[in-house]
Amino acid sequence: MKQHEAVLEAMRQNGGYATLGHLYRTVLKIPGCHWGTKTPFASIRRIVQIYPNLFFKIKPGLWALTSEREAVLEKLASGAGAEVFNHSYYQGLIVEIGNLKNYETFVPYQDKNKLFLSRKLAEVSTLREFHNFTYDSLLRRAKTVDVSWFNQRRLPKAFFEVEHSTGMHNSLLKFLDFEDFRINFFIVADSARKREFESKIASATFSPIRHAIKFLDYDTLADTHSKISASLPAEKLLGL
């Protein structure tokens, strides 16, 4: 079996699509293929990029079989609409990264039935209930954060807000409520919105948390997911 055929088979077994992270974890297990390289993950990444007749990119970090383009796109949207699909996809990447970094992960109750590819976010995240780490008034606010990571002491390590098309101001105000905690805050959005982010946090309103807020673009998020899935260093990308 040739290498590109192994990638094809791994993607077929996953329903015709897969994240790069999933391919890194599964392609090398396909029998009958010899890789003979010290950098098989680079080879997998190159294969999906140089065979447009076989693979196409849906969004950062997510690839599918060209022969099943229409079926895959219809399946992934599943009537939810592009906005919901995009938002929950990036939530799912963040959750999986947190899981792989041995954090407990939580998504808001209203998002638990939304899909990360073929699985509900509730099935990907590890926490059914939010840890009661502070006052009820703040907990109600924290429970609405798109993705939360908790450390072994059941304290929040990082809060992520995915801003696919909505404004950032409300998310930043939400983060501001937790200025007294040692939490890393992330706005996750398209790289084209970084200037908007920088303009927002330049406001004196957000000076108490400016040092703790980072902008994370979709490509960096997907790259982090792929690298940590392959047990490659990802900490430098997020600074965690």
218, 193 Cβ separation under 8 angstroms: no
Judgement on whether residues 86 and 48 belong to the same structural domain of the protein: no
What pLDDT does 229 receive?
A: 83
Joined together, the tokens standing for residue 86 give 């995009």
Judgement on whether residues 65 and 98 belong to the same structural domain of the protein: no
The count of domains in the chain is 2
Q: What is the CATH number of the domain that holds 12?
A: 1.10.10.10
Final residue before a domain boundary, out of 36, 61, 77: 77
Judgement on whether residues 44 and 94 belong to the same structural domain of the protein: no
Judgement on whether residues 29 and 11 belong to the same structural domain of the protein: yes
Confidence category of residue 225, pLDDT binned at 50, 70, 90: very high
Joined together, the tokens standing for residue 197 give 């982010």
Joined together, the tokens standing for residue 207 give 């000076």
pLDDT tens digit sequence for 30-54: 999 988 888 889 999 999 999 999 9
pTM for the model stands at 0.90
Using CA atoms, how far apart are residues 215 and 200, in angstroms rounded to an integer?
11
Distances, alpha carbon 123 to alpha carbons 29, 49, 95, 233, in Å: 24, 30, 10, 26
166 or 24, greater pLDDT: 24
Determine the average pLDDT of the residues in 61-68. 95
pLDDT tens digit sequence for 116-151: 988 999 999 999 999 999 999 999 999 999 999 999
Judgement on whether residues 72 and 118 belong to the same structural domain of the protein: no
Final residue before a domain boundary, out of 20, 49, 77: 77
Judgement on whether residues 39 and 92 belong to the same structural domain of the protein: no
Annotate 61-105 with DSSP letters as a single string.
TEEEEGGGHHHHHHHHHTTS-HHHHHHHHHHHHHHHHHHHTT-EE
What single DSSP character describes residue 189?
A: E
Q: DSSP 3-state helix, strand, coil percentages of the chain (rounded to 5)?
A: 50, 15, 35
Judgement on whether residues 99 and 209 belong to the same structural domain of the protein: yes
CA geometry: angle at 100 spanning 31 and 76, to 5°? Answer: 70
Partners of 215 in beta bridges: 187
What pLDDT does 237 receive?
A: 43
Using CA atoms, how far apart are residues 124 and 98, in angstroms rounded to an integer?
10
What pLDDT does 82 receive?
A: 65
- Indicate the helix (H) or strand (E) that contains 215: strand 213-217
Query: What is the span of the domain harbouring residue 53?
Result: 3-77
Give residue 146's Cα distance to chain centre: 11
Final residue before a domain boundary, out of 77, 97, 115: 77
Using CA atoms, how far apart are residues 63 and 68, in angstroms rounded to an integer?
11
Using CA atoms, how far apart are residues 168 and 180, in angstroms rounded to an integer?
21
Judgement on whether residues 59 and 171 belong to the same structural domain of the protein: no
What pLDDT does 53 receive?
A: 95
Judgement on whether residues 49 and 117 belong to the same structural domain of the protein: no
Judgement on whether residues 69 and 40 belong to the same structural domain of the protein: yes
What pLDDT does 79 receive?
A: 56
Judgement on whether residues 41 and 119 belong to the same structural domain of the protein: no
Partners of 216 in beta bridges: 188
Judgement on whether residues 72 and 92 belong to the same structural domain of the protein: no
